[in-house]
Amino acid sequence: MNIKQLDPETINKIAAGEVIERPFSVVKELMENSIDAGASKITIEVKNGGKSFIRVVDNGSGMSKEDALISYHKHTTSKLVDLFDIHTLGFRGEALSSIAAISNLVLKTNNGEDGIEIEIEAGQLKQEKETGMNQGTTIEVTDLFFNTPVRKNYMKSREAEFSKIQDIVIRYALSNKDISFKLIHDEKEILNIPKSENMLNKIVDIYGIDMAKNLMQLESEGNIKIKGYAA
C-alpha cells in the first residue's frame, strides 16, 4: 500500500479525537473557557450521559461578533501572548475547533454590546444571526462523534459517561470557590454548588458536614503553593 497524505478534513477529525475523547472532555473544555471568561456562574446540562446533548451556559465576558465567527477555527485564541507567561486554563486554540469538527454545535454569545448565534456542523459554518441574550456565552453540542463512528462506538454507557461528567464538575467546583456550578442530567438537577468563601464550605455543599468534619487541612508553600484537604 502506497503512502499518501491525508486530506485536511481527515486530519482535523483525527486531531479532534485526540483532544475530545469522551463527553466529559467536552464539558471540561467548555467549563475552562467559561472560567477563563471570568464567569461567576456556570450551568451544565447534559442528556443521555452527554452522548446526545451538552449545553454549557455562563455569565462571563462573552465574545464580539468578529471573535465568535473565528472562535471555532483551529489555533485561534484570545489567551496566549507568551508561552512563558500563561495565566489561563486554555491557550492552545484547540478546544472549540476540536468540538466543532466532530459534532453539531450552536454558539450564542453577547459581550455586553451585541449578541450573535452561529451554527456549525462538522467544523463548517451553517448559519449566523443576531440574538438577544444577557452577557455571557451558551454552547450547545449535539450528535457528538457523528462523523467519527469508531470514536462514537468507544463511548460507554449513559451512567458511566455521566459519572465522568459529574466528577469533572465537582473537581472544578472545588478549585474555583468564586464560581457557582449547576449540573442537570436528563432535566433533573444533580448538583447546585454555590460560590463560597473557602474550599471547606464547598466540600460541605458537595459531600456533607460529616465528611468535612473528618478532613485534615494540608498546606505547603514554596516555589509552588499547595492548599487542600485529605481524608
Tell me: the pLDDT tens digits for 177-229?
A: 999 999 999 999 999 999 998 889 999 999 999 998 899 999 888 888 888 88
Beta strands in the chain (DSSP E): 41-47, 53-58, 104-110, 115-121, 124-130, 136-142, 180-185, 188-193, 216-221, 225-230
Tell me how far CA of residue 223 lies from CA of 86, 87, 176, in angstroms. Answer: 16, 16, 21
What pLDDT shows up at residue 7?
Answer: 56
Q: How many CA atoms lie within 13 A of 180 on its CB side?
A: 8
pTM: 0.84
Amino acid in position 28: K
Q: What would the pLDDT profile of 64-112 be if each residue is shown by its tens digit?
A: 999 999 988 865 554 444 434 434 454 445 789 889 999 999 999 999 9
3-state SS, residue 122: coil
| Cross-strand bridge partners of residue 37 | none
pLDDT at 16 exceeding the cut of 50: no
All domains of the chain in start order, with CATH: 8-195 (3.30.565.10), 199-231 (no CATH)
